[in-house]
Amino acid sequence: MKELNWAIIGPGQIASEFAQTLHANGRKIYGVGSRSLERAQAFADKNYIEKAYGSYDEMLNDPAIDVIYLATPHSNHYGYLLKCLENGKHVLCEKAITVSSRQLDPVVRFAKEKNLIVAEAMTIYHMPLYQKLKEIVDSGVIGEVKMVQVSFGSLKPYDVNGRFFNMNLAGGALLDIGTYALSFTRFFLTSQPTEVLTTVKPFETGVDEQSGIILKNPDDQMAVIALTMRAKLPKRGIVTGDKAYITVDNFPRADKATITYPDGRTETIEAGNTAEAMVYEYDYMNAVVNGELEEKTLPLTEGVMKIMTDVRDQWGIRYPFE
């Protein structure tokens, strides 16, 4: 495998976690950019990064860089995605990859034109546990999949100006935590949902505070999803068939699941390591860019974004910059 040079756009908390996790597991980041060289250098020094750039344009113009890890707030992913692709860089983009299909579709088209890889840093698609669970489901252990149920409640502090509740920053539960719930759902459904029912309670700023979503696909599989940003709910995903059901607690970076059978028997499934979630994303992207793996996650990402776009359109919630 050719060693690829990675660089970071968006030197914040999630990017620091990414760089620190990679360093702890024997991987490295080549560069980091910021709007000031001082900030970029401080981030590089703290996070074991070789090179700092005083502007994103300077960094993107460096031919030594192969892959960008895009970790800015999702409200400005669209512009940076296009800029990265224009400069010939592959991109692993933090979730949500964009705020709607209206943004994602042109990005996907442009990436194909440029023969570049764009993927979302959605842990569910890369954790070894989910690969193992998919094999179990496909083998028929739980029977025919009938329903998926997901809950995710994140109790955010009340702050009308904070990014979680700010319309100008694409706030709201759907794009922040709902993307995980819908990615879990779409991963196990055998086809894209075509029926979407939903209701929402808006926050006072106009973003979605909490919601319920019901999905149904052409295979008659259904999903029920509960989201809230102002109350705690377990991060729990359940996949149920006619022979057993699978429960995954703390599902975004899970390394353990339970199969429960009708007679009450349970079976624990373990794979991977929660602490290495970002390493799996990094290794996957390297393998895809090097041609060792076929990229298969983008259609799932597109499907999730289509659902989220449909849901927000039904709510009548649209961000000012869309």
Instruction: Say if residue 256's pLDDT is above 90.
Output: yes
- pLDDT bin (cut points 50, 70, 90) of residue 63 is very high
Residue range 193-221: average pLDDT? 98
Instruction: Say if residue 1's pLDDT is above 90.
Output: no
Instruction: Say if residue 150's pLDDT is above 90.
Output: yes
- pLDDT bin (cut points 50, 70, 90) of residue 158 is very high
Question: What pLDDT does 322 receive?
Answer: 87
Percent of the chain at pLDDT > 90 equals 98
Query: Could you identify the residue written with the tokens 């309670």?
Result: 201
CA–CA dist 218, 276 (Å, integer): 36
- pLDDT bin (cut points 50, 70, 90) of residue 91 is very high
Q: Which long-range contacts (CB under 8 A, 24 or more apart) does 252-255 make?
A: 252/123, 252/124, 252/180, 253/123, 253/127, 253/277, 254/127, 254/129, 254/130, 255/127, 255/128, 255/129
Question: What pLDDT does 283 receive?
Answer: 98
Residue range 221-230: average pLDDT? 98
CA–CA dist 248, 239 (Å, integer): 9
Instruction: Say if residue 171's pLDDT is above 90.
Output: yes
- pLDDT bin (cut points 50, 70, 90) of residue 176 is very high
Q: Which residues of 225-247 are buried (b: 16+ CB within 10 A; e: fewer)?
A: bbbbbbeebebbbbbbbeebbbb
Please state the pTM of the whole predicted model.
Answer: 0.96
| pLDDT tens column, 264-302 | 999 999 999 999 999 999 999 999 999 999 999 999 999
| Averaged confidence pLDDT in the chain | 97
Residue range 127-154: average pLDDT? 98
Question: What pLDDT does 25 receive?
Answer: 97
Instruction: Say if residue 175's pLDDT is above 80.
Output: yes
Residues 6 or more apart whose Cβ sits within 8 Å of residue 60: 33, 68, 83, 84, 87, 89
